[in-house]
């Protein structure tokens, strides 16, 4: 690749302009029209999936085009084009093939006219020689997009170049002997030998192709049907010469991708015979006893030099793996979507099974989950191809090690059975339903196997590692979904238990505490100084602590009711500025006693729709926290700002602050910051939890910010109109 550019175009008298070579080119030009160059160019381009092919003789500064395909020149016949420092000249000069994946990035060829003016990117050129082994021309394939040429494509191009070389050499040899014609019998023998030779080369070329090729004559009779196409269609080496066009769809088991059968007129070869150029037609092959295949078909009519349509040709590429990969990727997306859109396990997994079964053309799929109490697998979901009878045993539990599903559960590894009609994991019931191949995939949660996905095919199939890998990924998604649902279920049960416990304890405590508070109040109001004079300070302590406990119980019950949705919000037009102003005024005396400067910067009004009592409750807790957690004095600034359909209340203090790792924790019920406990600041761990819940019920949020050492900023954001669901849960 490091050879200098000039090395590909030597002086004219060394290679290109050598008299012997020019004479050979002139001799070849005189007889080359007898070779079917256009048809060969078309065949090679189709087989390689390339848009352009050219067969030309290379003279000095010009090329004689014998045959071409693409760029509007197919079937146009011989023509001359200017050629100076062309890629074809480089092939002739080098005498060996030149293969370029991207000529625009190759300094040897980037400045050639084909690249600069005509946008050529990928190029392959093989030399064509005459009977004296002179390089007279080139068979070239080109593409306007960069590409990596496969070994199979290069073999096809090489075979085609050799085929044309052999044909050209034969024509030249016969031309030399034409001055002394042999007897008629010898001519006939020679023609027969020549025909056999051409047929042998053509057969060898078609047989070596991995691309399927079929061709018919002007009457629709099949004249070419190569081995690659037979393998794709799953047909025997029968002679299709007598198969009429109307019989093609049924004889070859061809269907549209949605499984509608092809009509005779829809067949790509029939359309090409009518004069259409057929491109990228997906054809589903459902041959009995074979796995479904998807092939991509291209085709076009065959015309002679006068433009008359003499037949049609199609090429077919097996794209089963490509389509399956695309469909499996779609399956993974469909699985993620199905599992995200619903909490109904049966519905989500049935949708997943249907997506996988449909894309794989596997008619039956099952999901089994482990029941830890019974120690068996129980069926959770199934999918059957529409119109197919279900497997009758689906309601029966499966124990570990029993059959395919039980064995996968026991071993925790995927198992592929090529045919369940035979072998140690045979399944007579499924086999009796017309099923053959089967695949079991474990559904895992960490190190545990919690279920099994089982799929069945209507055909015997050998294992595919790529398919197993994709299905393991889908099984992992299902496993994560199951664990997420289990965690959510546990969390919901825990929350319900916590609420029930709080409600129970709250009610059990509230009754005796209320009695204690009432009797304490009576004793405090009694005028019997003789009996009570010495204990009045103790009564004050009992009364204060009793009322504190009652407040805690009331807050706990209130928070539980808010969390559960049992408490409804009374949404009315409300002025938040008035609520905040009243709260600031209420806390001003307590703030002053603690040496805290409580300041407010509020608009004249801040209208919104809310429950005013609940908002006042939340605002009180925010201001109370800011003042209480500033034991050494400082500043508490309260501000209110409305914008973009919402209003933001900010309460900022210069108090003891909150460690960064505790900012999310302190908004939960009964949780307090470590600094507050270290400083022995009174509190219940309920204020921020209540404020957060009240704001959430209004469709709002509470965020806390703190540097950790000093000061905390609480920001409450509320929509001007809460969502409809705010009034009930």
Residue 452 and residue 541 in one domain: no
- Structurally, how many domains does the chain consist of? 5
Within-domain flag for 347: no
Query: Which is more confident, 470 or 536?
Result: 470
Residue 532 maps to which CATH number?
Answer: 1.10.287
Kindly report the backbone phi and psi dihedral angles of residue 414, in degrees, each rounded to the nearest multiple of 5, phi listed first: -70, 145
Residue 36 and residue 126 in one domain: yes
pLDDT tens digits for 192-242? 555 555 556 566 666 666 788 888 888 888 888 888 888 888 776 555 556
Of how many residues is the chain composed?
A: 729
pLDDT tens digits for 613-644? 999 999 999 999 899 888 888 899 999 998 88
Query: Which is more confident, 576 or 709?
Result: 576
502: three-class secondary structure by DSSP: helix
Domain's final residue, options 523, 539, 564: 564
Query: Which is more confident, 379 or 489?
Result: 379
> What is the structure's pLDDT at 140?
95
Within-domain flag for 202: no
d(CA 608, CA 642): 10
Residue 557 and residue 590 in one domain: no
Residue 291 maps to which CATH number?
Answer: 3.30.450.20
pLDDT at 680 over 80: no
The DSSP bridge pattern shows strands 309-318 and 438-445 to be unpaired
> What is the structure's pLDDT at 577?
93
pLDDT confidence tier of residue 185, bands split at 50, 70 and 90: low
**C-alpha distances out from residue 328 to 444, 480, 729, Å:** 20, 19, 39
Give the mean model confidence (pLDDT) for residues 665-685.
68
Residue 693 maps to which CATH number?
Answer: 3.30.565.10
**C-alpha distances out from residue 307 to 136, 185, 275, 626, Å:** 28, 34, 11, 93
Residue 116 and residue 146 in one domain: yes
Residue 608 and residue 659 in one domain: yes
Alpha-helix runs per DSSP H in 219-292: 227-233, 248-252, 268-273
pLDDT tens digits for 689-717? 888 888 988 899 999 998 767 889 999 99
Residue 522 and residue 640 in one domain: no
Find tokens 């259409």 and name the residue: 276
The DSSP bridge pattern shows strands 596-601 and 634-643 to be parallel
The DSSP bridge pattern shows strands 376-384 and 135-143 to be unpaired
Tokens of 409: 């559960």
Within-domain flag for 334: no
Within-domain flag for 348: no
Residue 581 and residue 635 in one domain: yes
Domain's final residue, options 521, 538, 564: 564
pLDDT at 34 over 50: no
320 and 293 in contact (C-beta within 8 Å)?
yes
Domain's final residue, options 291, 318, 345: 318
d(CA 417, CA 424): 10
> What is the structure's pLDDT at 582?
94
> What is the structure's pLDDT at 12?
47
pLDDT at 5 over 50: no
> What is the structure's pLDDT at 108?
86
Q: Is 275 left (phi over 0), alpha (psi -120 to 50) or beta?
A: left
- The per-residue DSSP string of 19-88 comes to HHHHHHHHHHHHHGGGS-HHHHHHHHHHHHT-SEEEEEEE-SSEEEEEEEESTT-TT---EEEE-SS-HH
Within-domain flag for 474: no
DSSP assigned state of 667: G
Helix axes 465-525, 345-360, angle to 10 degrees: 170
Instruction: Please state which of the ranges 167-176, 267-276, 322-331 shows the lowest mean pLDDT.
Output: 167-176
Give the mean model confidence (pLDDT) for residues 149-175.
81
Within-domain flag for 592: yes
**C-alpha distances out from residue 10 to 15, 95, 130, Å:** 7, 12, 21
Find tokens 């602590």 and name the residue: 545
Residue 367 and residue 275 in one domain: no
Residue 30 maps to which CATH number?
Answer: 3.30.450.40
Within-domain flag for 341: no
Within-domain flag for 55: yes
Tokens of 508: 């059990």
Residue 48 and residue 147 in one domain: yes
Instruction: Please state which of the ranges 65-74, 103-112, 132-141, 568-577 shows the lowest mean pLDDT.
Output: 65-74
Full domain range(s) for residue 314: 210-318
Tokens of 130: 């005459």
Partners of 601 in the β-ladder = 639
Residue 523 and residue 380 in one domain: no
Residue 522 and residue 581 in one domain: no
Partners of 224 in the β-ladder = 215
The answer to whether the predicted template modeling score (pTM) of the entire model surpasses 0.85 is no
Residue 579 and residue 650 in one domain: yes
Which of 205, 278, 200 is CA-nearest to residue 44?
A: 205
């Amino acid at each position: 690749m490091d050879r200098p550019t000039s090395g590909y175009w030597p002086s004219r008298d060394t290679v290109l302009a050598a008299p012997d070579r020019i004479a050979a080119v002139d001799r070849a030009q005189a007889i080359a029209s007898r070779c079917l160059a256009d048809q060969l160019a078309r065949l090679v381009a189709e087989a390689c999936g390339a848009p352009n092919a050219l067969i030309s003789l290379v003279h000095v500064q010009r090329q004689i085009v014998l045959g071409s395909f693409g760029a509007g020149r197919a079937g146009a016949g011989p023509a001359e084009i200017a050629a100076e420092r062309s890629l074809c000249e480089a092939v002739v000069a080098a005498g060996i093939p030149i293969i370029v994946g991207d000529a625009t990035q190759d300094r040897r060829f980037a400045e050639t006219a084909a690249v600069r003016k005509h946008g050529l990117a990928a190029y392959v050129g093989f030399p064509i020689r005459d009977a004296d082994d002179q390089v007279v021309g080139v068979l070239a394939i080109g593409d306007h997009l960069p590409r990596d040429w496969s070994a199979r494509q290069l073999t096809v191009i090489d075979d085609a170049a050799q085929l044309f070389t052999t044909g050209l050499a034969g024509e030249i040899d016969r031309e030399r002997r034409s001055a002394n014609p042999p007897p008629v019998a010898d001519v006939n023998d020679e023609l027969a030998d020549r025909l056999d030779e051409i047929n042998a080369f053509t057969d060898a070329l078609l047989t070596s192709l991995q691309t399927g090729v079929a061709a018919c004559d002007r009457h629709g009779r099949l004249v070419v049907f190569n081995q690659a196409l037979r393998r794709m269609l799953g047909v025997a080496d029968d002679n299709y010469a007598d198969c009429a066009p109307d019989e093609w769809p049924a004889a070859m088991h061809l269907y549209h991708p949605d499984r509608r059968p092809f009509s005779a007129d829809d067949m790509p070869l029939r359309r090409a015979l009518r004069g259409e150029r057929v491109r990228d037609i997906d054809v589903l092959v459902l041959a009995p006893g074979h796995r479904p295949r998807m092939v991509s078909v291209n085709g076009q009519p065959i015309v002679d030099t006068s433009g008359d349509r003499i037949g049609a040709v199609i090429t077919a590429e097996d794209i089963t793996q490509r389509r399956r990969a695309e469909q499996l990727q779609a399956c993974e997306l469909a699985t993620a979507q199905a599992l995200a859109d619903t909490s109904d396990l049966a519905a989500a997994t049935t949708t997943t099974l249907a997506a996988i079964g449909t894309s794989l053309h596997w008619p039956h799929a099952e999901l089994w989950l482990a029941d830890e109490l019974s120690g068996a697998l129980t069926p959770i979901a199934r999918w059957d191809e529409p119109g197919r009878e279900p497997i009758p045993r689906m309601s029966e539990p499966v124990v570990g090690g029993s059959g395919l599903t039980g064995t996968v559960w026991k071993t925790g590894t995927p198992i592929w059975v090529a045919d369940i009609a035979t072998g140690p994991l045979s399944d007579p019931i499924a086999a009796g339903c017309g099923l053959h191949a089967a695949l079991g995939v474990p559904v895992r949660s960490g190190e545990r196997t919690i279920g099994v996905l089982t799929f069945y095919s209507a055909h015997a199939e050998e294992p595919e590692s790529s398919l197993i890998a994709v299905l393991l990924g889908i099984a992992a998604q299902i496993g994560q979904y199951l664990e997420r649902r289990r965690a959510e279920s546990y969390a919901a049960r825990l929350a319900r238990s916590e609420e029930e416990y709080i409600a129970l304890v709250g009610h059990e405590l509230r009754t005796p505490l209320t009695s204690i508070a009432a009797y304490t109040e009576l004793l405090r109001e009694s005028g019997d100084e003789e009996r009570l004079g010495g204990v009045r300070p103790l009564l004050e302590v009992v009364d204060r602590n009793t009322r504190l406990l009652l407040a805690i119980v009331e807050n706990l019950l209130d928070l539980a009711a808010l969390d559960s949705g049992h408490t409804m919000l009374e949404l009315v037009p409300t002025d938040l500025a008035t609520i905040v102003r009243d709260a600031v005024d209420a806390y001003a005396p307590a703030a002053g006693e603690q040496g805290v400067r409580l300041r407010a910067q509020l608009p004249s009004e801040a209208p919104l729709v809310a429950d005013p009592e609940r908002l006042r409750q939340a605002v009180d807790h925010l201001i109370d926290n800011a003042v209480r957690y500033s034991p050494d004095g400082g500043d508490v600034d309260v501000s209110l700002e409305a914008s973009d359909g919402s209003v933001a209340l900010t309460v900022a203090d210069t108090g003891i602050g909150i460690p960064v790792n505790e900012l999310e924790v302190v908004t939960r019920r009964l949780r307090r910051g470590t600094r507050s406990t270290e400083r022995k600041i009174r509190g219940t761990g309920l204020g921020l939890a209540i404020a957060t819940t009240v704001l959430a019920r209004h469709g709002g949020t509470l965020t806390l910010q703190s540097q950790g050492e000093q000061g905390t900023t609480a920001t409450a954001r509320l929509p001007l109109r809460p969502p409809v669901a705010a009034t009930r849960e």
